[in-house]
Amino acid sequence: MSAEIHPAWYPEAVITCSCGNSWTTGATVPSIRTDICSNCHPFYTGEQRIVDTEGQVDRFLGRLRERDRIRNEADLRRLARTPPDLPLAELGVGTRYITIFAKHDIQVAQKVLDALASGGDETLLAIPGIGRKVIADLKRALRQRGYTLPGEETTEEEAIPESSNTA
């Protein structure tokens, strides 16, 4: 074994944790400082604690809050565009068809959605004077306003407009 190539050995090296715990062991340096030990590590203590380095946890939680705020605003905008009591006239349905629908107690968007849910297109086609083109135009107008038609599913990307997808 070559002489003077090995570091000095300190059999009584003191290890000190940031929580205040300290113990001795053998090491090549006289003292060691550590951030976490078995007395304060969440794995051993069972305590849920986050060690924040340079505010990273705060920034992350801030981004989560901002994402939730943006999603809530998008949901509110979507709900404002799709009120259940939206008159058919606002969907661009002709006055002739509004009159026909009114005779059958269908005056708002929710009634159309209920009719489509209960029997599909056939329920509306059973109304005299209503044809497939009127139903197709009505469905298109409902989709453009953000309504989900019965039997159709929307994905998360379709539900949130691109402009608010900044998180």
In a domain, 153, yes or no: yes
Q: What is the pLDDT of residues 20-68, one digit of tens each?
A: 999 999 999 999 999 989 888 878 787 776 666 677 888 889 999 999 9
Whether residue 150 sits in one domain with residue 116: yes
Between residues 103 and 2, the one the model is more confident about: 103
In a domain, 4, yes or no: no
> Could you give the CA distance from residue 63 to residue 167 in angstroms, rounded to a whole number?
7
In a domain, 2, yes or no: no
How far is CA 147 from each of CA 3, 27, 91, 111, rounded to the nearest angstrom?
83, 69, 11, 13
Whether residue 156 sits in one domain with residue 91: yes
Whether residue 134 sits in one domain with residue 71: yes
In a domain, 1, yes or no: no
Q: Is the pLDDT of residue 14 over 90?
A: yes
Q: Is the pLDDT of residue 165 over 90?
A: no
CATH number of 34's domain = 4.10.80.400
Section 6-23 average pLDDT: 93
Q: What is the pLDDT of residues 124-161, one digit of tens each?
A: 889 999 999 999 999 998 888 888 888 776 554 444 44
pLDDT at 54: 74
In a domain, 14, yes or no: yes
Whether residue 132 sits in one domain with residue 102: yes
In a domain, 144, yes or no: yes
Whether residue 21 sits in one domain with residue 71: no
Domain around 113 = 58-164
Number of domains in the chain: 2
Q: What is the pLDDT of residues 84-114, one digit of tens each?
A: 888 888 888 888 998 999 999 888 888 998 9
The helix or strand, by DSSP H or E, that contains position 21, with its residue range, turns out to be: none
